[in-house]
Structure 1
C-alpha cells in the first residue's frame, strides 16, 4: 500500500502492495491447533487464516510453516480450493521477501491446484498468485491480465475477500503510473468488497487506499473537499483500530498514523499551529505503533523525519539533529535496511552538519551516501538478475507450453489427416462392396419382384373368391328379404282371415236375428287387433326356414289352420289367447294340438311346444 512521503524533506516512503491484508485476527497469533472436535476441513481453513495472521505481522517463518501444514491437510482431504488458499499465503510471503525462485514454483503450483479444483473461487486465487508473481517481476501487463482473469473467473457469485485483494493489487499497480481515474476506481471497488468481509484489517488497508486516491484528486484539483477526504479515510482506520485493536494490524495502524502526520505537514502552512500539533501527535503515534512490529523501522524513521522537519522549522537544530541521528540508528539496526530511506537520512545529516559548519561530520555522512547507493545498486542488480532469470524461465516455460500446444495442434491435424485417409479408404471399400453386391441385390430384387407378382396374383384370386362370397351373401340376403316378405304376407293373410271369419260370424248373427251388441264386438275387436299387431310382429321374426322345416318333418300334410296354430305355439302363445284370436273354444285348440302332434309323429312324452320352439 502507498503511504505518502514527505515532499521537499528527505524521505521517500515507498509502496507496499499487499503486506497487510489478512483474514484472521492479527495480534499475537499463537501456534495452537484448532479446537478439539473440529473437522479436518475446518482445521485446514483455520491454519490458513493463522498463517495469514503471521504473514501480515511479518512473522514469515511461522507463516510459512503454518500455511504448509494447512495445505498438506487440504490436499489429503482433496479439498483443492482450500489448498489453493493456503498456497496463496505462501506466494504472498515469497513475493514480499523477494524469493523469486521459490515464488515462481509456488505460484505455478497454486495455479495447477486451482485448475484441478475446477471451482470459480479456486481459479480466482490461482490467477491472483500469478498476478503477485508478475507484480514482483515488475511485469505490469501480466499483473493486469491475471488480475482481470481472477475477477472474471468468479462469475456471477464472486467472493468479496479475494475480489477486494485483487482490486487492491490493481489500485497499487496504478499508483505507480499515477493513473488517477483507475486509482480511484480500484480503491473504491476494493473498499466495497472489503466491507462485505468483516475483515477489519483488510478494510483498514482499503481506507488507506481511499485516502491515497483522495490525495491524487486533491493534487489535481486543489479542492478542499478532496483534501478533507484524505484525513477522513485515515480517521476511519484510526476508529477501526480503537474498536477492534486485535483485528487491525499494528503496522496498518502505524501507516495510517504516519500518513496522517504527512497530511498535516504537506497541506497546511508552517504558521498553522493546530496542524503542527496534529502532525507531531500522529508522528509520535506512528513511532509508538511501529515499535511493536517486527519490521517497523522504516515507519519509525519516517515519523522521526517529520519531527525533524518541524524542529527545523522552529530552528531547533539540536532537536533536529537528535531526530535524524535516531532515525539513522533505527535504520542501521535493520538487518536489511530500506536504502532509499537510509540514503535520505544520511543526506539530511550531511546537509545539517554542513549548514552548521561541522564539516568533518558532514564529510563523514557524505561518504556514506555513495556507499549506501552502491549497496542499493548491488541489491537492485541482484534483484534484477533474479527477476531476469525468473522472467527467462517463465518465457521459456511459456514458449514450451506454446510449443506443446503447437505440437498438440499439429498432432491433432495429423490425426485428422489420418482419419480422413481412413475415411476415404473406408468409403472406397464400401463403394467396392456395394458395386460387388449390386448385381446380387438386383437378382434378389428381381426374385422378390416375381414373388410379389405371384403374391399379387394369389391376392387377386383371393379377392375374386371374396367377391363370389360377397355375391353369395347378397343372394342369401335377398332370399332372407324374400322370406321376410313372405312372413309379412302370411301375417297379413292371418289377419285378413281373422277379419273374414269375424264378418261371417256377424252376418250369421244378423241372419239369426240374435241380439247384437256392436259396441262390444268393436271393443273386443280393438283389443284383438292390438294383440294381433304384436303377434304379427312376432310372426315376421319367425325363422325363415320354420314352415319349410315343419313341412319336411310332418308325416301328413298340415292344413293352413294347422300351420297357423303351429306359428302361434312357436311364439309361446297360451291356449286361451290362441282361442280368442281364432274365435274358437280352448278345447278346440287342445284338440288341434293333439292332431298336429300325430301328424308330426311325436310320441306321447314329447312336448309339441318344445318341439316347435326348437325347430325355429
Structure 2
C-alpha cells in the first residue's frame, strides 16, 4: 500500500493547490463586508469564496463568487468579475462538473475581453488552463498557461505567476519530466515568496519536496533526499506560524508526505524514522477530523499507521487502522473509490495473511464491487470529459471559423478599402491627368494663339513691309514717271525752241525782215504759257502715251502725241497753234487725222476721249 498511498497524496496536493486564491492575506470573515461599500465588496467576496473552496465548502464558495460577480458587474468591474468566475471554475473542476466548468471558463474570457486589461485576460487564460487540467488535455494546459504568462508581460502579479507556474509543475509531474518539474516548482516558489499568501507558499514548498524526490530517485544523492523533508518542514512550519492563513488540508498533505518519506526511505529498524512517520501520520489524521472533504487524507494517514503497526506485529492495531480508514471512506456520500479500493484490498490481504479467508473473501468481493463502481465512475467521467472536450473543440472550431470568417471579412474589407483607395487614387490621377492635359491644352492653345498672333503680326509686318516697298516702288515709279514727264515736257519745250530757231534761221536766210523785240515778247509769253503747260504735262498719267499707242489703229507720230498731250491738258486750239508755231487750221487738220488713227467716230469728241483716258 506504500506506493499507492504516496502517489495518491501527490495527486491530492495537486488538486488542492491548482486553484485561485487571494494574493493579499488578511483575516477573512463575513463581518468585514459590513464595513465596505458595495463597490469594494467584490474583491473581499472573491477572497471569501476562495477560502470556502480551500476548506472544501464548495456550495458556499460558489454562492460567494456569484455575489461577487453580481456586484462587480453592477459597477462594470470586469476584472474582479473575471477573478470571481475563476474561483467558480476551480470549484466546478474539483467537483467534476465539467460542463459548468467550461461555461464558467468561457465567461471569464468574455469578461476579460470586456475589461481590456492584461491582468484580467491572464486570469481568464489561467481559468482555461484549470478547465483543461480537469479533462486531462495537456496541450491546452500548456498553451493557456503560456498565454497567461504572456498576458502578464511586464505587469507585476507574483501571486498569479506563482499559480500559473504551479499548474505547469503539476502537469510535468504527471509526465515525470524531472527537468521541468524542478524548473516550474522553483519558479512558482520564487513568485510565492513575493506574496503574503502562506497557503500558496506552503504548497510551493511541497512542490519543491516532490522535485527533490524526483532528483534523489535519479541520482541517489543523500543530500537531495534530506532536502525532501527540509521543504516539507518549511511547509508545515507555515501552518504552525500562520494557522489562520494556511488551510488544514495543505498542512495535512505535507504531513502525510513526510510520513511517507520516512516509510519509503528508512529501514524498519530505524526507530527515529518510525517515530517521525507515526507522528506526521497522526497529525494529518487529527487535523482533518471534522474537516469537509477530509476523508481521503485521513484514510491515507491511517494506511501509513497500519503499515507501521504490521511491522511491529501489532495486527490488532493494524486491523483497527484499516477498519477505521474503511469506515471513514464508506460513510462518505460519494466515496473516493480509488482510495477505498486500496483500503479494502489491504484489508483483504491482511485477513488472508491472518488466515481469515472468509473476511478476506468478503473484502475481496467488496474490492471487486468498488472496482466495478470505480470503473463505471471513470467511464462516466471519461464520457463526460470526452463530451465536454468534444463540445469545447467544437466551440473552439466554431470560434476558429468565426475568427477565420472575421479575418476573411477583415481582409475582404481591407481589399475593398484598398480597391476604393486605388479607385480614388486612380480618379485623382485621372483628374490630375485631365487637369494637366487641360492645362497643357490651354497652354498649347495659348501658345498657338500667340504663335498665330506672331504669325499675323509677322504677316502684317510683311504686308506693311511689302506695302512700304510697294509704296517706295510706286514712289520710285512715280518719281521716274515724273522725271519722264519732266523730260517729255522739257523735250517739248526744246523742240519748240529748236523749231523756233529753225524758223528764225530760215527767215534770216531768205532775208525776211524780223522784229526781234516782237519775237522776244512772244517767246516770253509762250514761255510762261509753256511753264504752265509743262506743269500740266507733268500731271499726265504715265501710261497715257502707251495707252494711246495701244488704242491707235495707225502709228502715231511724235507730233501727234504732242498734240494729244496738249488736248489732254485742255489747251485751246489757238494756244496749241502758238506752242506748235502753226496755223490754227493746221491744228484742226491734225486733230481730224489723229481721230481717224484712233478709230473714233464722227460724233466722238477727241478732246473728251483724251481727257477721259488721262
- The question of a shared fold, defined as TM-score above 0.5 by the shorter chain, is answered with yes
Larger CA deviation: 271-280 vs 74-83: 74-83
Give 1:332's aligned residue: 330
Residues 437, 305 of structure 1: alpha-carbon distance in 2 compared, 3 angstrom cutoff:
closer
Tell whether the 8 Å contact from 1:25 to 1:248 is kept in structure 2 after alignment: no
Work out the CA distance in 2 between the residues paired with 1:183 and 1:123: 26
Work out the CA distance in 1 between the residues paired with 2:244 and 2:100: 32
Work out the CA distance in 2 between the residues paired with 1:182 and 1:444: 80
Give 1:532's aligned residue: none
- Pick 1 or 2: higher relative contact order, CA cutoff 8 A, min separation 6: 1
Work out the CA distance in 2 between the residues paired with 1:419 and 1:366: 75
Deviation (angstroms), 1:296: 0.9
1:179-190 aligned within 5 A: 179-190=177-188
Deviation (angstroms), 1:136: 0.7
1:4-23 aligned within 5 A: 6-7=2-3, 12-13=8-9, 15-16=11-12, 17-20=14-17, 22-23=21-22
Whether 1:71 and 2:85 are equivalent positions in the alignment is no
1:427-576 aligned within 5 A: 440-446=438-444
Report Cα offsets for 1:436-492 as digits up to 9, x if no partner: 666643453256669999xxxxxxxxxxxxxxxxxxxxxxxxxxxxxxxxxxxxxxx
Name the SS of the counterpart of 2:235 in structure 1: helix
Q: TM-score by structure 2 length? A: 0.69
Larger CA deviation: 71-80 vs 444-453: 444-453
Report Cα offsets for 1:97-120 as digits up to 9, x if no partner: 111111101001101111221222
Deviation (angstroms), 1:196: 0.9
Give 2:390's aligned residue: 392
Whether 1:100 and 2:105 are equivalent positions in the alignment is no
Work out the CA distance in 2 between the residues paired with 1:244 and 1:381: 41
Name the SS of the counterpart of 2:274 in structure 1: helix
Work out the CA distance in 1 between the residues paired with 2:430 and 2:78: 56
Work out the CA distance in 2 between the residues paired with 1:416 and 1:253: 59
Q: TM-score by structure 1 length? A: 0.68
Work out the CA distance in 2 between the residues paired with 1:61 and 1:305: 30
Work out the CA distance in 2 between the residues paired with 1:191 and 1:425: 61
Name the SS of the counterpart of 1:7 in structure 2: helix
Tell whether the 8 Å contact from 1:195 to 1:203 is kept in structure 2 after alignment: yes
Work out the CA distance in 2 between the residues paired with 1:183 and 1:213: 6
Report Cα offsets for 1:197-255 as digits up to 9, x if no partner: 11111111111111111111111111111111111111112211111111111111111
Alignment: residue pair count: 450
Residues 114, 324 of structure 1: alpha-carbon distance in 2 compared, 3 angstrom cutoff:
same
Residues 104, 364 of structure 1: alpha-carbon distance in 2 compared, 3 angstrom cutoff:
same
Tell whether the 8 Å contact from 1:26 to 1:57 is kept in structure 2 after alignment: no
Give 2:314's aligned residue: 316
Deviation (angstroms), 1:7: 2.1
Tell whether the 8 Å contact from 2:23 to 2:196 is kept in structure 1 after alignment: no
Residues 27, 58 of structure 1: alpha-carbon distance in 2 compared, 3 angstrom cutoff:
farther
Tell whether the 8 Å contact from 1:261 to 1:282 is kept in structure 2 after alignment: yes
- Unpaired runs of 5+ residues, structure 2, are 452-614
- Unpaired runs of 5+ residues, structure 1, are 454-616
Bigger radius of gyration among the two: 2
Give 1:359's aligned residue: 357
Deviation (angstroms), 1:410: 3.2
Residues 111, 9 of structure 1: alpha-carbon distance in 2 compared, 3 angstrom cutoff:
closer
1:129-278 aligned within 5 A: 129-278=127-276
Tell whether the 8 Å contact from 1:18 to 1:92 is kept in structure 2 after alignment: no
Work out the CA distance in 2 between the residues paired with 1:246 and 1:311: 34
Deviation (angstroms), 1:400: 1.2
